[in-house]
Amino acid sequence: MASTLKGKPKMLEVPLRSLLCMMATVVVSAFLLTLIASSISSPSDCACSRANAVGVDAASTPDGRLAVLVPFRDRFDELIEFVPHMYSFLRHQGLDFEIFVLNQVDQFRFNRASLINAGFKTVRQYYDYIAIHDVDLLPLNLNLSYAKPQSGRPFHVAAPNLHPRYHYSTFAGGILLITTQDFEMVNGMSNKFWGWGLEDDDFYDRMIEAHFKVTRPTNVATDSSNTFRHIHDSAWRKRDTNKCFDQNRETRRKDRTTGIIDVNYQLRATHHLKINNLPFTLLNIELECDKVLTPWCECDQSSFFNIFSGVF
């Protein structure tokens, strides 16, 4: 017995050692293979996954990747200021970001919310959070953080006490940071808002109803006069405040139905452009309009219904 017991460890010693040795070899070679495989495949993976959408390298930071979504139509003067400004502002914060200009190319009235839904669908798989960003609102105070907000806590950068023009407490427009997951959870924004205004108020309600807490900058020493530059000459850039059909009534009702899931659009082109050698992506988005659901996507002033609705 004793000899057998004594012998066993000796008998096992060699096979065990060689087994361990084999295992170590397997582990090390698997590790090396993985290293080689990843060094070969990751650049091309990045090239297909992100470069299709963005055209630049895919280095990511632990803080997450930010897609700046900029609804746009016919604002070239503002854009050539916006892109260089945002580069210097966001680089200062060390953020991993890309700028997407969502260019509405159809003939319907401007639809900021649908552009954001469409842009979001195009980029969501590559980004951890988005900034819904007006092209004419430039952040000046470097203490305005564009870091990834916590889940359930969208960060409204253009707070009512800081925005040059809008000061009501439920204002959520201008610039808003929200995680990809949170934006998805509330089905994005309503698609019913054609023309200027109210889509951001509706989105505020969506966030509140989802029990999100909208957070805003604190300890910012600037105010509504010097936190942002608002490049908006309202005589030159007239807001489309027309109301036709039953738009007034319909868009004052909460819409919890339309959003990311049913935004109707065609992505007509993806342009990789540069301003001052700084890259951004311009997406040509052609929105489609359901004229039964939202006939006010076109306000034809001569139509019978408009004359009728104008009288009453």
Footprint of Mn ion (CB under 5 A):
136, 232
- Distance CA(193)–CA(251), nearest Å, equals 7
- Distance CA(49)–CA(60), nearest Å, equals 13
Q: Which residues contact 80 (CB under 8 A, 6 or more apart)?
A: 275
- Distance CA(95)–CA(59), nearest Å, equals 11
Pairing of strands 96-104, 278-287: parallel
The Cβ of residue 186 has, within 10 Å, a number of other Cβ atoms equal to 20
Residue type, 216: R
- Name the residue number minimizing CB distance to Mn ion: 232
Cβ closer to Mn ion: 138 or 178?
Answer: 138
Minimum Å distance from CB 221 to Mn ion? Answer: 24
Minimum Å distance from CB 165 to Mn ion? Answer: 8
Cβ closer to Mn ion: 153 or 232?
Answer: 232
Minimum Å distance from CB 122 to Mn ion? Answer: 24
The residues with which 178 forms a beta bridge, in sequence order, are 130
CB of 260 closer than 8 Å to CB of 190:
no
Minimum Å distance from CB 71 to Mn ion? Answer: 11
CB of 289 closer than 8 Å to CB of 103:
no
Helix axes 112-123, 199-209, angle to 10 degrees: 60
Cβ closer to Mn ion: 236 or 304?
Answer: 236
Minimum Å distance from CB 197 to Mn ion? Answer: 11
Minimum Å distance from CB 86 to Mn ion? Answer: 16
Pairing of strands 96-104, 65-72: parallel
Cβ closer to Mn ion: 76 or 304?
Answer: 76
Q: Tell me the residue ranges of DSSP E strands in the chain.
A: 65-72, 96-104, 129-133, 137-139, 155-156, 175-179, 228-230, 265-275, 278-287
Cβ closer to Mn ion: 136 or 200?
Answer: 136
Cβ closer to Mn ion: 185 or 231?
Answer: 231
Cβ closer to Mn ion: 182 or 201?
Answer: 201
Minimum Å distance from CB 134 to Mn ion? Answer: 6
Which residue stretches of 54-157 are H helix? 76-92, 112-123
